[in-house]
Amino acid sequence: MNTFGNILRLTTFGESHGPAIGGVIDGFPAGVKIDFDLLQSMMERRRPGQSAVVTSRREPDDVQFLSGIYNGVTTGTPIAFIIANTNTRSEDYGQLADAFRPNHADFTYQAKYGIRDYRGGGRASARETAVRVAAGALAKQLLRQYGIEVCAFTAQIGEVQAGVAEGSCRNEVYCPDPAAAEKMKLAIADARANGDTLGGIVQCTVTGCPAGLGEPMFAKLQAMLAGAMLSINAAKGFDYGDGFAAASMRGSAHIDEFVADENHRITTATNHSGGIQGGISNGAPIQFRVAFKPVATMMRSIDTVNTRGEKVTLQPRGRHDVCVVPRAVVVVEAMAALVILDAVMMDRSHGATRFV
């Protein structure tokens, strides 16, 4: 179950402190010239050590392609790639061989498999998301060729919310509201000073999507997106359009009236629906949010139990993010790009009347 997608499929592998993590992208169309700059810029946005608000770990995260690309162009065969694990300090994790960190996957992996690679969280490490970003970068560039753009940003960190949803996100927290961005950085600094951590919310918009994407019944576009987002480490919730707020709205306030322009092209006057109706895109921007919990690892000593059920105290070690949200923005974007491209390909396969 390490494979994602229906026609466009990403299989990921790798533990945080093994030789490498990596992925295999299967079903990616042939003849696409890889945009290595876009790839690199997306990898950079996820990279640890990129700024003062994220972990100081430095990992170059170079993506090494092993197959599926010939002279810089995709060949239709599986695109495999690895990212070497170069900056691993396993000694930071020695105390974890026997202890279960709270809010981590140590206990559950042990319960499930009876064995675990405890170093750096092993398979459950958020390092795995680097693979998603690499794959998502390829999906994103192809979507661009189709006129579809996927763009996520930080909507909330701790209790600081962004007041706007558009504008440049070229700041350390990837938030389009400059004033909020400053407050977010302060909130992160404050939490760090207290050995504490923060959560937040990432918001994502997909523009340029034609009406008709998404496969009812169980592969509704929102179902695919929700599954994709909840598969990201630390994600706790997903909603789209008015989302949870819709629960307390009246129908008359939630309605998206259809309107037609002079060419009889039909759109909706508002977008409470978040661009999806009946599981299928309606041509309006697709909008959704993903909630992230505060980082589990805090720079404090933590009381917990070991594998024998005895009390132990863990000392703070390693280099960790105070808040995953700034680095999660591009992960959300990557997963959304994979979902949308998969839907495009699926739609194309069926569409007797449109595509034949």
Residues from 303 through 322 that contact a second copy (CB under 8 A): 303-305, 308-311
Say how far apart CA 177 and CA 51 lie, in whole Å: 18
Both tokens of 131, joined, read 């693979």
Phi, psi of 4, rounded to the nearest 5 degrees: -120, 135
* Nearest CB to a second copy, comparing residues 49 and 243: 243
Candidate list 293, 317, 318, 319; residue touching a second copy; CB under 8 A: 293
Candidate list 180, 295, 336, 340; residue touching a second copy; CB under 8 A: 295
Residues 69-98 that bind a second copy (CB under 8 A): 70, 73-80, 82
CA angle 84, 333, 62 (to 5 degrees): 20
Candidate list 133, 238, 327, 330; residue touching a second copy; CB under 8 A: 238
How many residues comprise the chain? 356
* Nearest CB to a second copy, comparing residues 179 and 249: 249
Residues 162-221 that bind a second copy (CB under 8 A): 191, 196-201, 210-220
Phi, psi of 318, rounded to the nearest 5 degrees: 80, -175
Closest separation in Å from C-beta 347 to a second copy = 7
Residues 321-350 that bind a second copy (CB under 8 A): 345-350
Candidate list 49, 50, 207, 230; residue touching a second copy; CB under 8 A: 230
CB under 8 Å to 239, separation ≥6 — which residues?
288, 289
Say how far apart CA 24 and CA 112 lie, in whole Å: 25
State yes or no: residue 273 binds a second copy (CB under 8 A). Answer: yes
Closest separation in Å from C-beta 54 to a second copy = 16
Bridge-based pairing of strands 311-314 and 258-260 is unpaired
* Listed residue (84, 82, 73, 83) closest to 28, CA to CA: 73
Stretch that binds a second copy, among 49-57, 87-95, 118-126, 167-175 (CB under 8 A): 118-126
State yes or no: residue 159 binds a second copy (CB under 8 A). Answer: yes
Residues 3-32 that bind a second copy (CB under 8 A): 3-4, 6-7, 9, 11-15, 18-22, 24, 26-27, 29-32
State yes or no: residue 287 binds a second copy (CB under 8 A). Answer: no
Closest separation in Å from C-beta 160 to a second copy = 9
Q: The tokens 């996927």 sit on which residue? A: 150
Size of the site for a second copy (CB under 8 A): 161
Neighbour-count burial of 172, counting CB atoms closer than 10 A to its CB (0-12 exposed, 13-18 middle, 19+ buried): middle
Stretch that binds a second copy, among 41-49, 52-60, 168-176, 223-231 (CB under 8 A): 223-231
Candidate list 63, 226, 328, 336; residue touching a second copy; CB under 8 A: 226
Say how far apart CA 229 and CA 237 lie, in whole Å: 8
State yes or no: residue 58 binds a second copy (CB under 8 A). Answer: no
Closest separation in Å from C-beta 335 to a second copy = 10
Say how far apart CA 122 and CA 158 lie, in whole Å: 27
For the chain, the C-alpha Rg in angstroms (whole number) is 21
* Nearest CB to a second copy, comparing residues 1 and 315: 1
* Nearest CB to a second copy, comparing residues 44 and 190: 190
* Nearest CB to a second copy, comparing residues 168 and 233: 233
Inter-residue contact 180 to 171 (CB < 8 Å): no
Closest separation in Å from C-beta 45 to a second copy = 20
Distances (CA, A) of 84 to 19, 164, 243: 6, 38, 39
Inter-residue contact 289 to 155 (CB < 8 Å): yes
Phi, psi of 349, rounded to the nearest 5 degrees: -65, -35
Both tokens of 102, joined, read 């709270």
State yes or no: residue 103 binds a second copy (CB under 8 A). Answer: yes
Per-residue binding letters, 119-138, with a second copy (x by CB under 8 A): ---xxx---x----------
Name beta bridge partners: 266: 260
* Nearest CB to a second copy, comparing residues 115 and 170: 115
